[in-house]
Structure 1
């Protein structure tokens, strides 16, 4: 199975060289990368990337940007970037992403320093090469999705080369990550762990969403000479993608992901719980169930379990906090293996009605009449509901189950 997703472990920070080193260590071909970079317009074509294995706390790859004789160390502006990319032979998706990264940096730096984005002077050309190389590397490895873990939030400051005391996480970096609502965790350290270009790469190329269950096929570690930390990049693919064949799905179940939300409630009436179920289903819950249970001090209580789509998880959880007496809810994302369901119309002696059919691939496993349909026919024909069920079940066995066995 081809690896089409990656997970970046950012617990020790991130920068452009760390990201690129991790990609190379995970399998990115440096020769192919340099060949693509050599086709860039001047002065970018004068840069080359070298990589070698090192061992610090882990064995990983350290990359360097070699500056060509004609490259120079001049800084560049947003307008320069757009013009350079338009003259390059990079894939359109790579050009678009690199420009978006530079625009993010210019917007944030301009806002925090009180100047226009077009007047922002961005780092030297070798840093633009890093941005291009990382974006191109993600494209070359055919990574459709890149996930990132929470970032280390350091407190305190350090003394720069100019002798000034500056924060361990720059205001520009904080503002850029805040713009994409990146998650943080408190950490300790005395060196800068998150660079501005590293934050910009994450903001454009990665997502901080909940990481689904996936199969790891390989890993790479990026290193830098500045500190002993590393960036781990795990390659893999989603579990549900490992065995589904589009050519022959007969006998296979469908898979998807759901968010399961639970809470224990011991001080709400049955009337309020009934109204809660209706409200949650209106909000888009796929299923709501109540299970009797015993809590501490042997108090009777109710376990409320809500199943919803991943994108609805937060809304349903907030509804539980607002509409119930609970002080907290538990959320987890789970993979679901499911049979396919569809409705079919049947002609019966009492009239047409819809039945629910359960299928695994193309095989019909079972079928059952819909309650609302049976209740409708009972009202229309003036017969007992149990009689309608008998007629409906006979029609199901004869017309669907029996037909399927022939």
Structure 2
């Protein structure tokens, strides 16, 4: 199975991803020709050989007519575009359909995250940094590279988010930025390895859009390795490593079994003095801190008091944050922790396009055999509301059945 793997030990951004994928063999001239089909002018895409801390790689640089000196991903705010504007631009472009669908999905995830952060409808979200032309070129370029490399699946390591603060259009924010944190929901992440923002919202959206599993392959044959160079000169390598691999046994712990086996931590508390609304807020807080799953079950406690069992599943690297959230966002004064083994099927996400717009579908596999597919509820509900039809009819329309 040909796998594209991102090693995000120094985070990930749009320009670093584009540089790494070109380093894996995507033809720069092909990219320029396809990007020319966006129908916008005023930019030039360059690829340079640079190094960071002795590691050589490819740096992607988008030069704009009104900006002689390019910078990092948050580069220019010369033009702000809404999600509606960008969707119209991409939909009307001549970019190949499969890459267009991927780019729309990445931007759609960014829009949803920003809409949640600012409490506005997604169509009203105005992108600042990622609405600039250079960032549009980065995202569409990454989508074209993924289409050209055509891996059977995409995996990634735990993602370094960085530390400190970052200055953006809304002022100075702590790292990770709110949108980045939302986009990283469910991903294994690390923080504090750097005192700068290392994973940008665009980088997080790329991972959320294309990565099917996080972990390290148990057995694989390395085909090619490349490094995407970041814009910063630091005392640590500001690079993204990307690998093309032929995997023998899949990701960590899977061995010869046709499913993924992981060791996780289950936290369990029984609570009898929180309202349903407070428990719902508590659940949201747990997911924001990296919980993989949270369930609430009714129970009867001592003295026949009705209560709720809160069960949380997380990876060990998120344990400290989950513990703090248990004590600070709930009424519990104690909980139980158990090491558990989780077996799960491999999942891959596909972006469907049509008259309904875009919709995400997840397919689960047993070994390499697809078992079943399901349209994401949010996309299904959106189509049903827009058309005034049932969820079943929306699913039939999207899938063509």
TM-score, scaled relative to structure 2: 0.56
Any idea what SS the aligned residue of 1:134 has?
A: helix
Any idea what SS the aligned residue of 1:90 has?
A: coil
Aligned mate of 1:133, from 129, 141, 147: 141
Which residue of structure 1 aligns with residue 239 of structure 2?
230
* RMSD, matched Cα: 3.2
Which residue of structure 2 aligns with residue 37 of structure 1?
35
Number of aligned pairs? 251
Q: Decide which structure has greater helix share.
A: 1
Question: Where do 5+ consecutive residues of structure 1 fail to align?
Answer: 242-254, 263-313, 315-325, 334-406
1:79 equivalent to 2:81? Answer no
1:214 equivalent to 2:220? Answer yes
Measure the CA separation in 1 of the matches of 2:168 and 2:138: 22
TM-score, scaled relative to structure 1: 0.56
Question: Where do 5+ consecutive residues of structure 2 fail to align?
Answer: 68-75, 251-255, 264-314, 316-336, 345-401
Pairs within 5 Å for 1:303-314: none
Distance 1:119-1:231 versus aligned 2 partners, 3 A rule: same
Shift of 1:162: 8.2
Which residue of structure 2 aligns with residue 52 of structure 1?
48
Q: Given that residues 8 and 241 in structure 2 are in contact (C-alpha distance below 8 angstroms), is that contact kept between their aligned partners in structure 1?
A: yes
Aligned mate of 2:97, from 82, 92, 105: 92
1:196 equivalent to 2:201? Answer yes
Distance 1:238-1:172 versus aligned 2 partners, 3 A rule: same
Computing the radius of gyration over CA atoms, which structure comes out larger, 1 or 2? 1
Measure the CA separation in 1 of the matches of 2:164 and 2:249: 44
Shift of 1:260: 6.6
Distance 1:56-1:106 versus aligned 2 partners, 3 A rule: same
Pairs within 5 Å for 1:2-401: 4-41=2-39, 43=40, 45-57=41-53, 58-68=55-65, 73-122=78-127, 123-157=131-165, 160=167, 165-178=172-185, 181-212=186-217, 213-228=219-234, 229-239=238-248, 257-258=258-259, 328=339
1:12-66 superposed Cα distances (whole Å, 9 cap, x missing partner):
110000001111112111111101111222x2x4433100111222011111012
1:91-128 superposed Cα distances (whole Å, 9 cap, x missing partner):
22211111111111111111111222111111312211
Distance 1:99-1:59 versus aligned 2 partners, 3 A rule: same
Report runs of 4+ in structure 1 exceeding 6 Å deviation: 69-72, 330-333
Q: Given that residues 150 and 208 in structure 1 are in contact (C-alpha distance below 8 angstroms), is that contact kept between their aligned partners in structure 2?
A: no
Q: Given that residues 182 and 208 in structure 1 are in contact (C-alpha distance below 8 angstroms), is that contact kept between their aligned partners in structure 2?
A: no
